[in-house]
Amino acid sequence: MPPSERVAIYGGTFDPIHRGHVEALDAVFDRMEWSRVVLMPASTQPFKLGARTSSPFDRHAMAVLATHDDPRFEVSKLELERSGVSYTVDTLESLRASRPDSALDWVVGDDNLALLPQWKSLDRILELANFVVLAREGLRVLPPELEARASTPEGRGLAGSIVFAENPRIEVSATDIRRRVATGEHFEDFVDRRVAEYISRNRLYVTEDES
């Protein structure tokens, strides 16, 4: 039986959310046949333990501001309300329970590919969802143990496949945006206008330590 809908879930710190996040998703939305994209701000990412981030409220608010006029996007508080370390497998278990008839595509950047074998319960993740890989650094090499899971968008099923998206790369990173704000450089072109206003109004990143 075909899925009732295909939902993309894009997890990340989003500190701040920027054009590279939103425009990449927009560019592949139709090809991937998504019905919606769920942005999933993380409480604490497993590979960024100890990293300083803006408050969950600020990161969630910026994601909402960046996408609020696009009905294809929604912003979830699931991981923020759960708090603690945000493991993808736990999030997908919750989403599968609430969306039993949906196909779930977990979106990652290609800079995450080498780390996939280290993800908690990766086998279970692949029972629950597919991976869709966005181009960030131009990396298209899967770890050897995952090569057999490579698929086209049309060939993936409910779960278990890894698909490389053909999105344009935008040279922007949250780290660089935070640095620009902290040093008084222009940053407004890299984020949505409403996000830029929020950052300035709330004086986010003005004491960012890049040492």
**Domain boundaries of the chain, sorted by first residue:** 5-170
CATH of region 5-170 = 3.40.50.620
Beta strands in 60-195 (DSSP E): 73-75, 102-109, 130-134, 150-151, 162-164
Higher pLDDT, 211 or 145: 145
Does residue 175 register a pLDDT over 80? yes
Mean pLDDT, range 84-101, rounded to an integer? 94
b/e code 102-111 from CB counts within 10 Å (16+ = b) = bbbbbbbbbe
Q: Report the pLDDT value the prediction gives residue 11, as an integer from 0 to 100.
A: 96
pTM, two decimal places: 0.92
Averaged pLDDT, 186-192: 97
